[in-house]
Structure 1
Amino acid sequence: MKRRNFLAAAGAGLAAGAVAKPAIAQSNPEIRWRLTSGFPKSLDTIYGAADFFAKYVSEATDGKFVVQPFAAGEIVGTFQAADAVQSGTVEMAHTASYYYVGKDPTFAAGAALPFTLNARQQNAWMYHGGGVDLVNEFMAKHGIHALPGGNTGTQMGGWFRKEIKSVQDLQGLKMRIAGVAGQVMAKMGVIPQQVAGGDIYPSLERGTIDAAEWIGPYDDEKLGFQKVAPYYYYPGWWEGGLTLHFYFNKAKWEELPKNYKAIAEAACMAANLDMLAKYDARNPSALRRLVGAGAQLRPFPQDVMEASYKATNEVYDEISSKNADFKKALDSIRAFRNEEYLWFQVGEYSFDTFMIRARSRG
């Protein structure tokens, strides 16, 4: 081979190699992100979703895509997570969207609205009822891309320092409660308070608040609420199935390679399933321990439930009359809920009712 031809062939080979390597590098770049959680590390189930996500994406990309989670307060506080994602202070957050109803009540529609969907129905609406798309149509206005990343199941009605026998007992009660539910409670005479999870116990202990809802037995036991508020009420009608979300800075999300997006979506879905399974597995024994330690388990009186339902629909009408985004989301959720309960009363309810009665008979 003539020297000129050899050099040309070698040059072509080098050029081909130079093209191939960047193509691979571009599809699997090294990415380092930070994630701020809305929760303390002590709550391993709800905070744990952030660790779960980070481990999943790292292992699926051979350590190329690394997300470092931070607990609430390490970078920003619980109620500043959305702002941190919007501004680009962090690339991601794991949070409950209803923390940001002060920005717009529509945020709550992606998390939980009173008297709407339970956990399975919430997932069905999100994944197969248009929920994810509807949520992101709204979130795009705030520079966020959001994906479901956990569910607590139906929550408890919270811890009260005094017994609630009727609606009248709610008058003037200072209660830690988040989202649209706070507006509903206000209609019934409660003074709603926004308190981060880690600050609830000292607030109850000092009497700064008279009652608090958090999640359910497993987390509530960890936080020790039974020591400072003996009456434990159910159900948490405001959260039939709270969906937590992973927030992504929208610009950063759109920069991700297609395969990284697919991995992140799969990680979010897996974290969503894992959290609900953990709560369902851990709540029963925690409830036994709480009652054994002296917690006074109580159902909300029927008049409280009826008054709450009435007040909820009044709040929905008020918000919907002046917020088109909220109305659009609520209309979708209500239509989906009505269809779901057509099926659930036939299948789930009849089966669960029989099994609960059978269990009580031994």
Structure 2
Amino acid sequence: MQRRRTILATAAGLAAGPAALAAPAVAQTQPEVRWRLTSSFPRTLDITYGTSEYVCRLVSEMTDGRFRIQPFPAGEIVPALQAMDAVSAGSVEMAHTGGLFFTGKDSALAFSTTVPFMLNVRQQHAWFFHGGGNEMLNGVYRGFGIHALPCGNTGNQMGGWLRKEIKGVEDLRGLKFRVAGLAGNVMAKLGVVPQQIAPGDIYPALERGTIDGVEYIGPYDDAKLGFNKVARNYYYPGWGEGGAVFHSLVNLQKWSELPRAYRAALEGACTAAATWMLAQYDWKNVEALYGLVAQGVQLRQFPNDVLEALYRATQEVLAEQAAANPRFKELLESQTAFRDRHYGYHQVLDYAFDTMMLRLRRASVAAR
């Protein structure tokens, strides 16, 4: 009789469909948690802001809707450049942003996103996840009551937009240029007047002439923001950002209160977002760049003497910051050793492969 009742109960559950079986017993025992996330990016930037939405959706799905995070674009709760303050104060539980926006609080936070002439995207990914990078950075964030999770990468960025052509170092002097992080300190040494402006406010500043140029991310976002309508010279390479890592910043107390399963869900979602964001940019930047060139944008490479001057200025800035900040020095030494060791590897593999393919493709086109 007992066996018959068990079979009937199982059959009834199956007949009720997936809804009756969807929530495992472990999920039913977990508390319901509701968080808010403030982004440093406007809703119009569908990749950077979309990454927040992607993370929130994954967390909800992985916890059967019991842990839900509601994302808000820049300005709806706090301005873009106050996202870290909001998390630190507990005004919101979480933010999606870049540490380079907050180097004024601690210069070591530059390594949270990117440092000029340092790591490429592949190297960043390895250093953050397996080279101890994020653990070291969380030693910095802990002082602000924050736990940080890598959550996206833009890939190598462009060098920026300028109204006038840059033919040498002298052409940089006096330029008012929107740039974030330590790249601004570097450019200041060459006479540039750096401006840190939130993403959603850049175009009006460029249009009004408040700034002479801007470095943001790359072709897809830059075209969305309309920079090509004002400045026609588009420079590469992105010497200041070989790759740019964004983070989910979580209030440390709220993080420690989360059940272990919820922490794992959030970590997993942020790690997935690192691939999701990079793939989005690698897919969409290609056609965006071709489209900008077709519209008459002048694609220009920085002259070598400019890049060499920027490199020398970077070494000065890094030495100054390392002398003033022991945490900066520790992170710099870690990244530098990692970079220098790994470039030997990448030269044998990735660089050699890309160089080979470019040579063969050119030869094939020339033979047609």
Does the alignment reach a TM-score above 0.5?
yes
The offset of 1:24, in angstroms, is 5.5
Q: Secondary structure of the equivalent of 2:313?
A: helix
Aligned residue among 273, 283, 287 for 1:281: 283
Q: 2:256 maps to which residue?
A: 254
Aligned to 1:19: none
Q: What does 1:41-56 correspond to in 2, within 5 Å?
A: 41-56=43-58
Shift of 1:232: 0.1
The percentage of aligned residue pairs carrying the same residue is 58
Asked if the contact 2:177/2:192 (under 8 Å) is kept, the reply is yes
Choose the corresponding residue for 1:308, options 296, 306, 310.
310
Q: 2:99, 2:109 within 8 Å by CA — same for their partners in 1?
A: yes
Distance 1:57 1:123 in 2: 22
Q: Which position in structure 1 is the counterpart of 2:115?
A: 113
* Superposed displacement of residue 27, structure 1: 5.1
For 1:170-200, what per-residue CA distance to the aligned partner results, in whole angstroms no more than 9, with x for missing partners?
0000000000110000001000001111111
Of 81-90 and 348-357, the range deviating more from structure 2: 348-357
**Unpaired segments ≥5 residues, structure 2:** 1-24
Q: Tell me the distance in 1 between the aligned counterparts of 2:301 and 2:30.
A: 53
Conserved in 2, the CA contact under 8 Å of 1:177 and 1:213? yes
Distance 1:76 1:249 in 2: 15
Change (3 A) 1:265 1:353: same
- The question of whether the paired residues in 2 share the 8 Å contact of 1:27 and 1:257 is answered with no
2:39 equivalent in structure 1:
37
Q: Please name the residue that 1:91 is paired with.
A: 93
Q: Does the residue aligned with 2:47 lie in a helix, a strand or coil?
A: helix
Question: Are positions 1:197 and 2:199 aligned together?
Answer: yes
1 CA distance for matches of 2:91 and 2:361?
A: 52
Does 2:101 match 1:74? no
1:243: how far off? 0.3
Q: Distance in 2 between matches of 1:107 and 1:353?
A: 34
**1:1-362 residue pairs with structure 2 within 5 A?**
28-361=30-363, 362=365
The CA deviation at 1:204 is 1.0
CA displacement at 1:25 relative to structure 2: 7.6
For residues 102-152 of structure 1, the C-alpha deviation after alignment (integer angstroms, 9 at most, x for no partner) is 111111111100000011110100011001111111111110000100000
Contact 1:60 1:263 in 2 (8 A): yes
Q: Matched residue of 2:348: which SS?
A: coil
Q: Deviating runs (4+, > 6 A) in structure 1? A: none
| TM-score, structure 2 as length reference | 0.91
CA change 1:336–1:253 in 2 (3 A) is same
| Shift in CA distance, 61/25, structure 1 to aligned 2, threshold 3 Å | closer
Residue 18 of structure 2 corresponds to none
Output the amino acid matched with 2:197.
V
Give the drift of 1:201. Answer: 1.1
| CA offset digits 1:312-357 (Å, max 9, x no partner) | 0000011111100101111100010011101001101010111122
Aligned position for 1:5: none
Q: Once the 2 structures are TM-superposed, how far is the Cα of residue 359 of structure 1 from its aligned partner?
A: 2.6
- Pair 1:153–1:25, CA change in 2 (3 A): closer
The answer on whether the counterparts of 2:27 and 2:63 sit within 8 Å (CA) in structure 1 is: no
Shift of 1:360: 2.9
What SS class does the counterpart of residue 69 from structure 2 fall into?
strand
- Asked whether the 8 Å contact 1:27–1:259 carries over to 2, the reply is no
Letter in 1 for 2:92: V
